[in-house]
Amino acid sequence: MSMTLLLIQTLNGLQYGFLLFLIAAGLTLVFGVMGFINLAHGVQYMVGAYLAFAFLGLTGNFFLAVVLAMVSALVLGLLLESFVFRHLYRRSHLDQVLATFGIIIFLNELAKVLFGPATLTLELPEILSGSVQLTENLRYPVYRFVTILVGLVVAVLLFLAVTRTKVGMLIRAGATTPEMVSALGVNIERLFMIVFGVGAMLAGLAGIIAAPIFAIEPGMGDNILILTFVVIIIGGIGSIRGAFIAALLVGLLDTMGRTLATAGLDLVFGPSIANQAGPALASMLVYILMAAILVVRPRGLLPAKGVA
């Protein structure tokens, strides 16, 4: 592998890793703090992409569309929490899975009704559509650098919010002893609503960021949800730091693994078989990594104390 290709794949892996972190951070908060299995978290990623597309069409301004889409994703998350999910907290995990799966089907079908089944794309503004000269033979898209920067900024802000603020302290306390926190006069339902709303907004932000890179289509969040669960299991359920480290590991392994596996198989079987089997083998490596880590550290790399 040439140094140029290695650099490209490393940057692509980081970009994909930060995208996974944005989704995993919200899911690990909801799962870790509330013990709630939200399969609809992936569809909130899809909703963010569609909202950005809709608001761009209405306003014609990319940055305004991003802000409006994030606010709308937050509002949608709060509405779902208030009218649906709140009534499932004390129900069994099977009930939670069935209810959230129903929301997946409903929102996927709603996306088809409103936008059609065709694949959509989100146009970038001129300021983000250029590229940066990294080496003599390599130019890398500006927007992909922006996605890395956004993911890093969100990771820092989220960690500080959870570990250094009063709300973060209450979230960590509510995760371990909700009865005691409630006895002290804290509204646990409102606290959980905040956690769920922030998680939905982060998933929506991930969809907004992904929209100019990947296709916008119904069901686009279903596959990435599985990988997100892998991330939070590797990192440790409820751990923001664990989700960050695991997301980068998975992103780099998935991206680098596709290139290395394809190149290795090409040497033995030829390009035709390598191009088909390489990506599949790379996908397997992620689950092999998860299994290996769980054997050594059953609670994940950085198991949560509360959610810190």
> Average pLDDT of each block of 10 consecutive residues along the chain (308 residues)?
76 91 86 78 92 94 94 93 86 88 92 92 88 79 91 89 80 65 72 85 93 90 88 86 91 83 71 73 84 90 64
Under 8 Å between Cβ of 231 and 247:
yes
Give the pLDDT confidence score for residue 250 in this predicted structure: 92
Note the pLDDT of residue 177.
65
b/e map 7-39, b = 16+ CB within 10 Å: ebbebbbbbbbbbbbbbbbbbbbbbbbbebbbb
∠ CA 220-301-254, nearest 5°, is: 40
Question: Looking at residue 165, what DSSP letter applies?
Answer: S
Q: Which fold has domain 11-122+141-296?
A: ABC transporter involved in vitamin B12 uptake, BtuC (1.10.3470)
Q: What is the pLDDT of residue 53?
A: 95
Which two structure tokens, joined as six digits, stand for 136? 């003599």
Q: What is the pLDDT of residue 306?
A: 47
pLDDT of amino acid 52: 95
pTM above 0.75, yes or no: yes
The residues that bridge with 133 in the sheet, in sequence order, are 139
**Beta-carbon contacts of residue 276 (< 8 Å; ≥ 6 apart):** none
Element (H, E) at 247: helix 240-269
Domain residue ranges in the chain: 11-122+141-296
User: What does the DSSP assignment read for 259-271?
Assistant: HHHHHHHHHHH-H
